[in-house]
Amino acid sequence: MSRLVTIYGGSGFVGRYIARRMAQKGWRVRVAVRRPHEAIFVKPYGVVGQVAPVACNLRDDDSVRSVMRGADAVINCVGTFDRRGKNNFDAIQVEGARRVAKMASETGVGRMVQISAIGADADGPSLYGQSKAKGEEAVLEYMPEAVILRPSVIFGAEDNFFNRFAGMTRFSPVLPVVGGGTKFQPVYVDNVAEAAVMGATGDAAPGIYELGGPDVHTFRELMQQMLGVIRRRRLIVNIPFALARPMGIVMDGVEFLSGGLIPAQITRDQVDSLKRDNVVSEGAKGLDALGIHPTAMEAVLSDYLWRFRPSGQYSDIKESARNLRQG
């Protein structure tokens, strides 16, 4: 019988790429999600019955244990940017990670992979980064041989980074950013998935890996590159931290008072996290230690950001026709 992996959050942005790669390697894949009927799209990743979405509540011991039964490896991709409510930082990124690791240890699961973040730091400025660090500690307490992956900002067709800012350009001549000088090292989602698969299959040594792409850019430079891909001109305006933090506090309050109906465009905690560069630390193990060649943004961005161009899918055709007329 083929081996089985349970992927918590396996239908999410990163999880779906991991699920596809695990299926391609012949593993049976159990995709543990809150709403399995919304994760039906993962089934074609393998042959009939190979990939199965199952219901799981990461805040419940029995739920986490039941979907782990019989698994040879577990991968936890679940994360949140919500610091309030039932599924907050502590519930998901600390206690949720602890629960998965504890159940894995108790049930004899051989390997565990935890998707964390480069900003994980128990003494860091943001609650998000602190919760990621506490989650790592909880995982290592029960699964000391776990593989922990800390990616920088992740890009790919379903990302909420480039897609979000490209969408903003449709409605405004100004593109506001907080921390325009903050450095990032964007990493392609499938590179992260490949690293996770290596951890689950035993092809990666236990430990912490910081994952970044081949290039480091400031936030402003990333926006300039994105604008070049979608062929739009917009004024990039950097909002100083001294102004951004009060804005985040106000937006947090509006979101809270509206019961989440009016989501905050930026939170106080996000402002705090942007005060630090989001790049691979000097001397840290990364993609190179896994033998993974990082994919450059230039090779991928145009594949999914074309829809934000003024002429969408016809942009290249129109430009070609314009060049012919000029010739």
**pLDDT single digits (tens) 35-47:** 999 999 999 999 9
Beta strands in 51-127 (DSSP E): 51-55, 73-76, 111-115
**Total domains in the fold of the chain:** 1
Report if residue 282 sits inside a domain: yes
pLDDT for residue 317: 66
SS3 199: helix
What are the pLDDT digits (tens) for 121-151?
A: 999 889 999 999 999 999 999 999 999 999 9
pLDDT for residue 319: 65
- As a whole-number percent, the residues of the chain with pLDDT over 90 amount to 84
Distance CA 244, CA 271 (A): 7
Tokens standing for residue 125: 């400025």
pLDDT for residue 155: 98
Residue 240, phi then psi, degrees to nearest 5: -60, 150
Pairing of strands 217-218, 183-184: antiparallel
Distance CA 106, CA 52 (A): 23
What are the pLDDT digits (tens) for 249-301?
A: 999 888 888 877 788 888 899 999 999 999 999 999 999 999 999 999 999 99
Nearest to 42, CA basis, from 3, 87, 69, 7: 7
pLDDT band at 187 (very low <50, low <70, confident <90, very high): very high
pLDDT for residue 254: 85
pLDDT for residue 312: 72
pLDDT for residue 5: 98
pLDDT for residue 325: 65
Report if residue 261 sits inside a domain: no
pLDDT for residue 256: 80
Distance CA 195, CA 22 (A): 11
Lowest mean pLDDT among 64-73, 102-111, 266-275: 266-275
Report if residue 270 sits inside a domain: no
Residue pair 93/132 in contact by the 8 Å Cβ criterion: yes
* Parent domain of 43: 4-158+186-214+278-294
Exposed, middle or buried: residue 161 (CB in 10 Å: 0-12, 13-18, 19+)?
A: middle
Report if residue 23 sits inside a domain: yes
Q: What is the mean pLDDT of residues 169-179?
A: 94
Nearest to 271, CA basis, from 201, 180, 202: 180
pLDDT for residue 266: 87
Handedness of CA 12, 13, 14, 19 (dihedral sign): positive
**CATH number for 111:** 3.40.50.720
* pLDDT for 1 beyond 60: no
Tokens 């060649």 -> residue: 293
Mean pLDDT of the chain: 93
Report if residue 219 sits inside a domain: no
pLDDT for residue 87: 87
- CB neighbour burial string for 204-237, b if at least 16 within 10 angstroms, e if fewer: beeebbbbbbeebbbbbbbbebbbebbebebebe
Measured N-to-C along each axis, helices 97-107 and 61-68 cross at an angle, to the nearest 10 degrees, of: 50
CA angle 47, 50, 51 (to 5 degrees): 110
